[in-house]
Amino acid sequence: MDNVGYLSLTNAAMIGRATDVTANNIANANTDGFRAGRITFEEMVSETGAEGPLDEMSYAIDVGTWSDTAEGALVATGNPFDLALQGGGWFGFQTEEGETAVGRVGQLTKTDDGALVTAGGDSLLGAGGGPVLLPPEATEISIARDGTISTPNGDVIGQVGIFQADEAHTWKRQAGGMLLAPGDAGPLVPAVDGNVLQGFVEKSNVDPIGEMMRLINLQRAYERSMNLADSADQLRSDTLSRLGKPAT
Amino acid sequence: MKALGTAATGMLAQQTNVDVIANNIANANTTGFKAGRAAFQDLIYQSLRREGAATGEGAMRPQAVDIGLGVQAAGVSRLNTQGGLTETGNQLDMAIDGRGYFVITRPDGTNAYTRDGSFTLSAEGEVVTLDGNLVEPAIVVPENTTQIEVSQDGIVQAYVGGEMEPQELGQINLATFINDAGLKPIGNNLFLQTEASGEAILAEPGEEGIGIVRHQYLEASNVDPVKQMTDLITAQRTYEMNSKTMTAADEMLQTTNQIR
């Protein structure tokens, strides 16, 4: 049985997937609120059917992708509808499919019905769990650190929700920088303390140097596993030509 | 391997970003111009393994393998912040200090909206934009006018001939929108109302929440050149990084092709 060929094949396939994850991170290095993705592999041991020390071989297999939830850099923009969270906590969003998600995307625009939406169309949730709806006449708003939305003359018109998401790195990644809770999770839990900054945007948390290093490593590892397949092929070819030579 | 395509989406997105930044820099000196900003979002994720799938009796996979497919430009938003006010001394220059847009009648009779208050007179004495579009409501400046005054609440008065008392010529109204960001830019510093912006609401300058008119001032562009330059550098470097991903993916495929 040609185990070496399969071994290098699974290895190359897994490295291919890891490269896809890195490529996606690099593509989103300039996407505000983006959280870098990571992929984890584990060893899968399988019986080879051979006797002795070679009776088992271990293949690499991907077990899951997760999000790096480290904070991105905060950049002042001065735009009143740009919100960022300093420290922990998540903004809550209602996606266009009606699902509740969390995210750190804070580049918002006001729609004609007064909702605050991201560029992807997900609407920001208030502290009560429903979408924030601003009255039409509220065009100048100020948002306090605890998320309280008020008008210039001091009327409180709502509160931006800050939620906590336990194990958020395992939540399902969605387009638009959203993370969906696993199926059995209940409604979002408000965070104990949160720090909303108005006029700031949180950049992508992708570390360019780290991703480029990873890319180089992956490429070289891919070449190694391909060389392994090549060597195994050479070895077999040599064996066949030597054994196949008639004795003289 | 999707890395090639993913890198391509990254390069395309940064290309859009550079286009937006280039337009901002080109308009760094355009009266009443509002800087644009490209907003990006990550694309959908492809599930290679689903979470919750059974991995054995009573055990299930706690995490999925979701691989993202890149990035897209989700929209270009305008930063509707106040631009700096510059004194010009010109009799028909007006700037809006605060919210609101001047209302302009286009040749086809529809209205457009602008923050650019560098008006002039037509051959008939009407107040028009530099493109000759009428300012709404129409204001006609009589002959022999020596001086024009515009109050902060938009009342236009003229001193005609040797008269000591000014004549009132009209009232400049400002239009506001529920959602300024939804206005559609059509060039020439003009905007059109859309479904997203809502209907124009006319108000007199100086009313609550409405800007005031500053006579003999113009509103400068709100483009911050330093920010645009740093954004340009970031965009270019991100573009380069994506091209490196593309090279790596290409070389990996080449390695595959070389084994026999």
**Lowest-pLDDT range of A29-38, A51-60, A139-148, B170-179:** A51-60
Task: Report which of residues A6 and A144 the model is more confident about.
Answer: A144
Residues 51-90 of A with CB under 8 A from B: 62-66, 77-79
Q: Does A200 touch chain B (CB under 8 A)?
A: no
Q: Does A38 touch chain B (CB under 8 A)?
A: no
pLDDT value at A71 more than 50: yes
Q: Mean pLDDT throughout A40-64?
A: 81
Compare CB distances from A30 to B44, B234, B255 and report the shortest one's residue: B234
pLDDT value at B181 more than 90: no
Q: What digits encode the pLDDT tens for the residues A119-164?
A: 888 999 998 888 999 887 777 788 999 999 998 888 898 899 999 9
User: What DSSP letter does each residue of chain A carry, written as one string?
Assistant: --HHHHHHHHHHHHHHHHHHHHHHHHHTTT-TT---EEEEEEEEEEE-S-SGGGSEEEEEEEEEEEE--PPPPEEE---TTBEEE-SS-EEEEE-TTS-EEEE---B-EE-TTSBEE-TTSPEEBBTTSSBPB--TT--S-EE-TT-EEE-TT--EEEEB-EEE-TTGGGSEEEGGGEEEPPTT--SPEEPSS--EEETEEE-----HHHHHHHHHHHHHHHHHHHHHHHHHHHHHHHHHHHHTSPP-
CA B115/CA B112 separation, integer angstroms: 11
What pLDDT sits at residue A212?
93
Cβ-based burial of B85 (10 A; exposed 0-12, middle 13-18, buried ≥19): middle
Instruction: From B255, B234, B249, B67, select the one nearest A216 (Cα to Cα).
Output: B249
Task: Report which of residues A248 and B208 the model is more confident about.
Answer: B208
Q: Mean pLDDT throughout B54-72?
A: 81
Q: What digits encode the pLDDT tens for the residues B12-60?
A: 999 999 999 999 999 999 999 999 999 999 998 888 877 777 777 777 7
Please answer yes or no on whether B248 and A139 come within 8 Å at the CB atom: no
Instruction: From B159, B156, B113, select the one nearest B133 (Cα to Cα).
Output: B113
Q: What digits encode the pLDDT tens for the residues A81-97?
A: 899 999 889 999 999 88
State how far residue B52 is from chain A, nearest Cα, in angstroms: 9
Please answer yes or no on whether B66 and A175 come within 8 Å at the CB atom: no
Three-class SS of residue B183?
coil
Q: How many CB atoms lie within 10 A of CB B6?
A: 29
On whether ipTM exceeds 0.85, the answer is no
Chain B residues in contact with A211 (beta carbon < 8 A):
241
Compare CB distances from B178 to A26, A112, A222 and report the shortest one's residue: A112
Compare CB distances from B6 to A20, A66, A233 and report the shortest one's residue: A20
What are the C-alpha distances in Å from B209 to residues A67, B20, B59, B232?
A: 43, 30, 60, 35
Instruction: From A84, A117, A102, A105, select the one nearest A190 (Cα to Cα).
Output: A102
Q: How confident is the model at residue A248 (pLDDT cuts 50, 70, 90)?
A: low
pLDDT value at A183 more than 80: no
Chain B residues in contact with A111 (beta carbon < 8 A):
179, 182, 196
Chain B residues in contact with A139 (beta carbon < 8 A):
99, 176, 178, 180, 209
What pLDDT sits at residue B55?
73
As beta bridge partners, residue A193 has none
> Which residues, in sequence order, are CB contacts of A247 under 8 Å at separation 6+?
none
**B206: which 2 tokens?**
């100086």
What pLDDT sits at residue B260?
65
Q: How many CB atoms lie within 10 A of CB B139?
A: 22
Q: Does A239 touch chain B (CB under 8 A)?
A: no
Q: Mean pLDDT throughout B198-204?
A: 89
Residue B196 C-alpha from the chain's centroid: 14
Cβ-based burial of B190 (10 A; exposed 0-12, middle 13-18, buried ≥19): buried
Q: Does A112 touch chain B (CB under 8 A)?
A: yes
Q: What digits encode the pLDDT tens for the residues A96-110?
A: 888 899 999 988 988
Specify the pairing of strand A74-76 against strand A200-202.
antiparallel
Residues 168-197 of A with CB under 8 A from B: 170, 172-177, 182-183
CB A83 within 8 A of CB A91: yes
pLDDT value at A1 more than 60: no
Q: What digits encode the pLDDT tens for the residues B100-135?
A: 999 999 999 999 999 999 999 999 999 999 999 999
Compare CB distances from B63 to A24, A66, A177 and report the shortest one's residue: A66
For chains A and B, count residue pairs whose Cβ atoms are closer than 8 Å. 204
Question: Which pTM value belongs to this model?
Answer: 0.84
pLDDT value at B259 more than 80: no
Q: What average pLDDT is seen over chain B?
A: 90
Instruction: Give backbone dihedrals phi and psi of B243, rounded to 5 degrees, phi first.
Output: -70, -30
Compare CB distances from B65 to A62, A107, A226 and report the shortest one's residue: A62
Please answer yes or no on whether A29 and B238 come within 8 Å at the CB atom: yes
